[in-house]
Chain A
Amino acid sequence: MSDAWVYDHQDLGEPVHVDGSPIVRPVVPLIVADELPAVLGVLDSGSPISVASADLFAFLGVDMEADDPLYEIPLSVGGGFERTPVFRVRLRLSSPGDHTHGVSWSLDLGARSRWRLPFAVLLGQRGWFDSFPTRIDATTSTVELPLGSASDGEH
């Protein structure tokens, strides 16, 4: 029996591709607080960093007004550049189909304002791929993580 966690890619309601095929994203469910539903994290191995909607950070225990970020990074927003603060936070990756089990880990996460993407978190090289060996298979539209034995653990 496979010891991997496998997540199906998801159609987030984006307009179909010009050839009529649906756009599906490699998505994992993330818990930011026990009493809240999962938010969606899209895996992007081409992104050097991980960023999220600034709206999430209060629920992650970050006071955006009072807490000093680890550092800032310039990202383009609405045609201009904006310095994006990066904070150390903890997220929990939910196991497939069961948000009551998961693996928690710490990552540096940028807080981007005016977020209009269909998912709340973009998981890149720093913050995701440097923590989780990940296989993204576009032939089967799945994400596979060798994490089965790590349920309810720390990472």
Chain B
Amino acid sequence: MRAELVELFRGRWVALDDTGNVVADSEELGELLERLEAVGLRANTVQRVPAADDPLFVGLS
């Protein structure tokens, strides 16, 4: 994900199009998927942009 978008969307779930641009974002994954489904908005992938203070994930505990 491009660095400038990371800074803009930290802590948010985002939908990215084929060119890597954010086409929708939301606080929660479920809300984002519902919105994409409702409006028929096409996107390539969905991910959460880590917040700046998120701990590094190294496995389930």
Report A's interface with B, CB cutoff 8 A.
10-15, 23, 29, 33, 35-40, 44, 46-47, 49, 51, 53, 55-56, 58-59, 75-76, 99, 115-120, 122, 124
- In whole angstroms, how far apart are the Cα atoms of A35 and B46 in the complex? 13
Interchain CB contact under 8 A, A29 and B45: yes
- In whole angstroms, how far apart are the Cα atoms of A96 and B9 in the complex? 26
Identify which of residues 5-61 in chain B touch chain A, using a CB-to-CB cut-off of 8 Å. Answer: 5-6, 10, 15-16, 28-30, 33, 36-37, 40, 42-52, 54, 56-57, 59-61
Interchain CB contact under 8 A, B15 and A15: no
- In whole angstroms, how far apart are the Cα atoms of A10 and B29 in the complex? 19
Tally of contact residues, B, Cβ under 8 A: 30
- Looking at chain B's contact residues, the main secondary structure is loop
Additional 17 contacts, C-beta under 8 A, given A13-B10, A39-B46: A13-B6, A14-B54, A29-B45, A35-B40, A36-B37, A37-B15, A37-B44, A38-B44, A38-B45, A39-B47, A40-B46, A49-B60, A51-B60, A76-B61, A116-B54, A118-B48, A120-B29
Interchain CB contact under 8 A, A36 and B59: no
Partner of A99 from B6, B36, B44, B54 at Cβ < 8 Å: B44
